[in-house]
Amino acid sequence: MAFPIVPLLMLALPLAEIAVFVLVGSHIGVLATIGLVVATTILGAVLLRIQGFGILARMRETMDAGGSPGRDLVHGLMIMLAGVLLLVPGFITDVIGLLLFIPPVRDLGWRLIKSRITVVTATAGPGFANRRGRGRTIDLDTGDYARDMDEEPQSPPRRPRIEDDR
């Protein structure tokens, strides 16, 4: 039976973050440590905005060219994870988050998980949403449909025509 690593990481990461806070705080002081945490949070928000919009533009270009945006989707996910890691107070998560903002590191991550991801593409066009109907579209009004087979379809009430005397 494999040992679950996620619960171990969820327990070890906060303890490691506290230890790093104590070490950094003892070397540079409490206020400088808090300032550094706030600065990395602001830096993360700025980088998330800049690189996030860049990834969205590349995804749009890839899709407009008819390609599959699988790589860009994974890069976008890594950038979003990097932003979240930078928003979480702590130096270990900040280092991991900053590393994920570097494109070669994201490319390495993409190469490691590319074989495990299947990108399914679908094209929208005539008949795309109606593949079961084999191209037929049946348009019914509310009175043309009856739930029970014994029930007769009822025609909707007619609105009186009002003619303009102008």
pTM: 0.62
The whole domain housing 102 covers 12-116
**CA nearest to 134, candidates 123, 122, 126:** 126
In a domain, 145, yes or no: no
What number of CA atoms fall less than 13 Å from residue 118's CA on the CB side?
Answer: 1
Which residue type does 152 have? E
Q: What is the dihedral of CA 37, 40, 44, 50, to 10 degrees?
A: 150
In a domain, 5, yes or no: no
pLDDT tens digits, 94-127: 999 999 989 899 889 888 888 887 766 555 555 4
In a domain, 160, yes or no: no
Token readout for 95 is 């280092």
Q: Give the span between the Cα atoms of 37 and 43, in whole angstroms.
A: 10
Q: What is the number of domains present in the chain?
A: 1
In a domain, 21, yes or no: yes
